Amino acid sequence: MGNQTDYNLEWQTQWKKRSILVGAQMRRSVEGIDAKMIARAVPKLARRTGIERSDGDLKMRISCGRWLTALLAVILLLAISPEVFAETGGETKATSKMNSLDTFWVLFAAILVFFMQAGFGLVEAGMVRAKNAANILMKNLMDFSLGSIAFFAVGYALMWGDGNWFVGTEGWFLFGVKSPVDGLPLYVFWFFQAAFVGAAATIVAGGVAERMKFAAYLLYTIAITSLIYPVVGHWVWGGGWLSKLEFYDFAGSTVVHAVGGVAALVGSIMLGPRIGKFGKDGNPRLIGGHSLPLAALGVFILWFGWYGFNAGSTLSLGDPNAVSLIVINTTLAAASGATLAMLVAWVKFGKPDVSIAFNGVLAGLVGITASCNIVTPLAAIAIGAIAGIVVVLGLLLLDRLRVDDPVGAISVHGLCGIWGTLAVGLLGLKSLGAPSDGLLVGGGIHMLGVQALGVTISLAFVAVTMWVVFKLIDLTIGLRVPRDAELRGLDVREHGMESYSGFQIHITE
């Protein structure tokens, strides 16, 4: 025993020396960067993109390089720490009996939800102009990439860790926590939740499209995935104060969609409209997306993935009837949302608008998400149909308020998320698992009041915190790209490349 202890002490001493040496070497390598070498590379990029780089850009790159090195050093130290080796963060075969069928079901559903990132990316890319397609796709990629790391390190503990009525306080980097679902491995549960985080974060990309700096967007992503979304999630799903009041949101009309929609609203207001969106008389102008086929493919991918989003939220296949009810309700709500959105647009504009019908599908899906397991199929049709109407009226309202939402994210996810949450208090059935019957199905007003209270306070929290986040970003690195960058397109200005190389892209508006 003594020899083992001496060995462990010696190993930890060697580890600390090695860590200090690695950190010092990495620090010297960055401090030794020759700015002239970077300066020689800048003209090459300028010739390729037509964009000049200033000395400030060089200094910023060097500073970012040093921060990146420090981050890599921290990651390396964590990876080789003996304390990390001692923690697994999950159950072992000896301590927990896993349910293979439920594990497969949740894992499969999580993969479907993850695939929705592709759907969001295609919808948003199709709805923006060609000169900004690569930028919006890059933001969708980094939503999940940065978001999953932030949620692993911080967000999961705040959302699912043991804590208090407001927030969780245990489980950083998944250390010392167990799965909250019996028979389901912690890492599978985390992956399912991480896919939801990515969906919430990527909603904002559409609302702030074509004018927000990429670096600013990365900072926003870290904030919403590590702090804002997990806090609301803890209130509703993690044992927080709203769960004690029996606030009901089965798969995330409020927690995922309304949170993302309100964050998009705040960002869009603070950024202001795109150049040319509103005329001198204040009337909105149509700025069409460059590819409806891309948007259509994205909508069908999202509809496909939503079966994992809603049905997978059972976290078990123990009740096939419950899963089948969710599937049919999800299908009917999406279908009725598309139909009513198309009809309203047809009456209002004289033509069955394709992009509005696409948003009608998503509106129906968002609307049914909170109540998909506690309403009848007929009620699901009604919820989806009303969501289809709400999304069109929401788009018109935003135009009147001079809020520029390029893809309709605020109306689809924000307004329809609110409607879906309230629909629980109107049409939910206690016999199917609701806390009580809804107002329109023989119950009282109590559940509707709880739903209204929960969604109001949750979204007020998101609005205030997102305003603070966006304001801090604006005061430090700025939120909006310069005018010339917006006119030329964010693909070239932010990434030094074009989505459709070799094609002439109109860049004057």
72: in domain: yes
Distance CA 194, CA 174 (A): 13
505: in domain: no
195: in domain: yes
Which CATH number do you get for residue 354? 1.10.3430.10
Give the pLDDT of residue 176.
87
Q: Are residues 80 and 108 in the same domain?
A: no
Provide the number of structural domains found in the chain.
2
pLDDT (tens digit per residue) in 138-190: 999 999 999 999 999 999 999 999 999 999 999 999 998 999 999 999 999 99
Q: Are residues 140 and 283 in the same domain?
A: yes
Question: Among 86, 113, 136, where does a domain finish?
Answer: 86
Query: Which phi and psi (to 5°) does residue 502 adopt?
Result: 95, -10
For residue 41, give the 3-state DSSP assignment. Answer: helix
Q: Are residues 14 and 145 in the same domain?
A: no
Handedness of CA 208, 507, 397, 331 (dihedral sign): negative
Angle at which helix 186-207 crosses helix 100-127, to 10 degrees, equals 10
Angle at which helix 133-150 crosses helix 100-127, to 10 degrees, equals 150
Share of the chain above pLDDT 90, in %: 75
92: in domain: no
Q: Are residues 66 and 131 in the same domain?
A: no
Distance CA 363, CA 284 (A): 22
pLDDT (tens digit per residue) in 310-326: 999 999 998 999 999 99
Q: Are residues 340 and 270 in the same domain?
A: yes
Question: Among 86, 118, 148, where does a domain finish?
Answer: 86
Give the pLDDT of residue 65.
67
* pTM score, whole prediction: 0.86
69: in domain: yes
Question: Among 63, 86, 109, where does a domain finish?
Answer: 86
Tokens of 62: 């060097």
Helices (H), 313-400: 320-349, 354-369, 377-400
For residue 145, give the 3-state DSSP assignment. Answer: helix
Q: Are residues 294 and 372 in the same domain?
A: yes
Query: Which phi and psi (to 5°) does residue 3 adopt?
Result: -65, -40
pLDDT (tens digit per residue) in 341-350: 999 999 999 9
Q: Are residues 143 and 210 in the same domain?
A: yes
Q: Are residues 129 and 161 in the same domain?
A: yes
CB 151 within 8 A of CB 225: yes
pLDDT (tens digit per residue) in 60-109: 566 666 766 776 776 666 666 554 444 444 554 444 578 999 999 999 99
257: in domain: yes
79: in domain: yes
Q: Are residues 119 and 16 in the same domain?
A: no
Range of the domain at 359: 100-495
Tokens of 497: 């490349």
Q: Are residues 79 and 136 in the same domain?
A: no
Residue type, 80: I
Q: Are residues 307 and 443 in the same domain?
A: yes
DSSP states along 379-436? HHHHHHHHHHHHHHHHHHHHHHTT---TT-HIIIIIIHHHHHHHHHHHH--GGGT-SS
Q: Are residues 106 and 166 in the same domain?
A: yes
509: in domain: no
pLDDT at residue 265 is higher than 70: yes
- Which of 129, 48, 130, 47 lies closest to 500 in space, CA to CA? 130
Name the DSSP letter for residue 227: I
